[in-house]
Amino acid sequence: MNTRNFSRRDVLKLSAAGVAVGALGACATTPGSKGKVVVVGGGWGGATAAKYLRLWSEGSIDVTLVEPSRTFVSCPISNLVLGGSRTIEQLTMGYDGLRAHGVNVVHDTVTAIDAGKRQVRLASGTSLPYDRLIVSPGIESSAEFMYEGIKGMTAADADVIPHAWKAGPQTVLLRRQLEAMADGGTVVLSVPMAPYRCPPGPYERTCQIAHYLKTRKPKSKLIVVDANPQVTSKGPLFTRVWKEDYAGIVEYRPNMAVNEVDVKGRTLVSNLGDRIKGDVLNFIPPQRAANIARDAGLITANNRWCEVDWMTMESIKVPGVHVIGDATLSAPLMPKSGHMANQHGKAAAAAIVELMNGRAPVPPMMANTCYSYIDDRNAIHVASVHRWVPEKKTMEVVAGASGVSGQDRAQWVFEGQYAWGWAQTVWADMLA
Amino acid sequence: MRTKVYVSGAILGLSTWGSGLTQALAQTDAGQARYVAANCANCHGTAGTARGGMPSLAGQSKERLAESFRAFRDGKRPATVMHQIAKGYTDQQIDAMAEYFASQKAAR
């Protein structure tokens, strides 16, 4: 993509001189409309982008959101369904709130993106034109990739060995397996090499499963097989909790990448040949941006992730297409979290509103807070603030503006209350 | 003000703007405030109206908001998260956010 440096004054001059005039694109729009935006994917990033485009454009940008599912199921908090303190229904919401903002919500699947013609094709056969496209596809959670390179396992086997890394039926399936397991059984949880969706997620899940076992099946064990050399996020806190709260239940094994699954034998096999057998297996496979991003040529890094211009979230490769959420190649120390995807959505919406109004985008700021519940009541967090650094053309954590929970456990009770308040507030920020 | 910004080549496909330069600049600065303030919305709600017992910011006095924020930043007010988050913003951003939330109507 041809990128140029402008000062705001330059942009003003250009526009004032009448150099940059004319319609936004070739597409017909409703009278008074500043342009059409199509959003692919109604998760944390896409839903937020759709809502904020409508809010910040004061209804002057036409927004169509394409999402196959009629309901949104939150990944954050879904580990608590495994622990038993929340139900999947509490994490499930509809898209009517977005409709009330004037978002045209279409329940369909985008099968192709034609960036040349600026349109997307839908499974139903129709096409949607756009002036700007926002792609918020998440990680690929179906088909070949998740298990490609994993001997003995295919996507279909996820019905027996769930990943539960996209909240919904997979979460419920894993919960049922835990409920069906006899006391004295062994659960095996496998963590992929970073980067993956939700850095602290596997360790929160460890706590949640351990909490369930401790309270309901105390003779049972949980073996955590981690491809990473150590706990990826909030390490000292999680390690302390496992020692203080879940001794004798949680066994943590770092540096152990699973590359083979014996589905019938309910056994994970590591790259060093270790065989870990369990009664319930939760294999979280390696991840990359979803197929639609790959097919549109948006994946530019390591065959996995989409690089963006953080100023606008626009793809570095495909003009007019903005990529947000877990599918992006993360900026330094930026987590693939729902909270961060929400912030990406706002950054993309802000940039598009400015551009469609003939103004230069403003440098983005993003904040992140990820809570992890260590049982049914207590939570710990990691937080950071990220700013645009023009000389490096990326986002960086502002010096000093990051951290995790303190070691005072009395505070973790409050954090547990804040975490549930956060969930309700951020769901409304996306969908209400 | 000559802030260097990084703009994609697509800037050349602009719509017409009806308003004058001054108004456009003012709009951009107001826009900047709402964009930075949207960092807070995840925990404090869209336009500062929170749910689930989280503190709402909408409609509070600008002075009080800015003062609280700085107290978190400077470690004078204890917090679980805000002492970390507050260090991420400049004085100018803090004042802009405070002004934005002060001007929002408190819902419910």
Mean pLDDT, all residues of chain B: 80
What confidence score (pLDDT) does residue A32 get? 78
Identify which of A174, A208, A217, A214 has the alpha carbon closest to the alpha carbon of residue A83: A208
What confidence score (pLDDT) does residue A145 get? 59
Is the preceding omega at residue A390 within 30 degrees of 0, hence cis? Answer: no
- Which CATH code is given to the segment(s) A20-68+108-140+288-362? 3.50.50.60
Question: Which amino acid, one-letter code, is at A16?
Answer: A
Interchain contact, B28 vs A362, CB within 8 Å? yes
Between the alpha carbon of residue A194 and those of residues A32, A226, A306, the distances in Å are 46, 10, 16
What confidence score (pLDDT) does residue A4 get? 38
Per-residue pLDDT tens for A356-390? 999 999 999 999 999 999 999 999 999 999 999 99
Tell which of A426, A427, A430, A431 to mutate to test the B interface (max B CBs under 10 Å). Answer: A426
Closest CB to A15 among B9, B14, B32: B14
Query: What's the CATH class of domain B61-108?
Result: mainly alpha
* ipTM of this complex prediction, to 2 decimal places: 0.89
Name the minimum distance, in Å, from the CA of A325 to any CA of chain B: 15
What confidence score (pLDDT) does residue A29 get? 59
Domain-by-domain residue ranges, chain A?
20-68+108-140+288-362, 156-283
Considering only CB atoms, which chain A residues are within 8 Å of B15?
22-24, 34-35, 356-358
Q: Do domains A20-68+108-140+288-362 and A156-283 have the same CATH topology?
A: yes
Closest CB to A311 among B5, B12, B17: B5
**From first to last of its 108 residues, what are the pLDDT tens digits of chain B?**
333 333 333 333 333 333 344 444 455 566 689 999 999 999 999 999 999 999 999 999 999 999 999 999 999 999 999 999 999 999 999 999 999 999 999 875
- Residue A365, beta-bridge partner list: A387
Please tell me which residue of chain A has the smallest CA distance to B82. Answer: A383
Considering only CB atoms, which chain A residues are within 8 Å of B108?
none
Question: Which amino acid, one-letter code, is at B34?
Answer: R
How far apart (Å, rounded) are the C-alpha atoms in residues A203 and A191? 9
Per the document, the length of chain A is 432
- CA A290 from chain centre, in angstroms, equals 11
CB atoms within 10 A of CB A74: 22
Residue A314 contacts by C-beta under 8 Å, 6 or more apart in sequence? A1, A308, A320, A321, A322, A323, A351, B8, B10
B positions 18-77 inside 8 Å of A (CB): 21, 24-25, 27-28, 31-32, 34-36, 38-46, 50-54
3-class state of residue B38 by DSSP:
coil
What confidence score (pLDDT) does residue B24 get? 46
Please tell me which residue of chain B has the smallest CA distance to A379. Answer: B80
Q: What's the 3-state SS for chain A?
A: CCEEEEEHHHHHHHHHCCCCCCCCCCCCCCCCCCEEEEEECCCHHHHHHHHHHHHHCCCCEEEEEECCCCCEECCCCCHHHHHCCCCHHHHEECCHHHHHCCCEEECCCEEEEECCCCEEEECCCCEEECCEEEECCCECCCCCHHHCCCECCCHHHHHCCCCCCCCCHHHHHHHHHHHHCCCCCEEEEEECCCCCCCCCHHHHHHHHHHHHHHHHCCCCEEEEEECCCCCCCCHHHHHHHHHHHCCCCEEEECCCCEEEEECCCCEEEECCCCEEECCEEEECCCCCECHHHHHCCCCCECCCEECEECCCCEECCCCCEEECHHHECCCCCCCCCHHHHHHHHHHHHHHHHHHHCCCCCCCCEEEEEEEEECCCCCEEEEEEEEEEECCCCEEEEEEEEEEECCCCHHHHHHHHHHHHHHHHHHHHHHHC
- Which CATH code is given to the segment(s) A156-283? 3.50.50.60
CB atoms within 10 A of CB A90: 16
Q: What is the pTM of this model?
A: 0.89
Name the minimum distance, in Å, from the CA of A119 to any CA of chain B: 17
Interchain contact, A365 vs B1, CB within 8 Å? no
Strands A267-270 and A258-262, by their bridges, are antiparallel
In terms of Cβ atoms closer than 10 Å to its own Cβ (0-12, 13-18, 19+), residue B12 is middle
Give phi and psi for B29, each to the nearest 5: -65, -40
What confidence score (pLDDT) does residue B14 get? 35
B positions 75-94 inside 8 Å of A (CB): 80-81, 83-89, 93
Residues of chain A with pLDDT under 50: 1-27
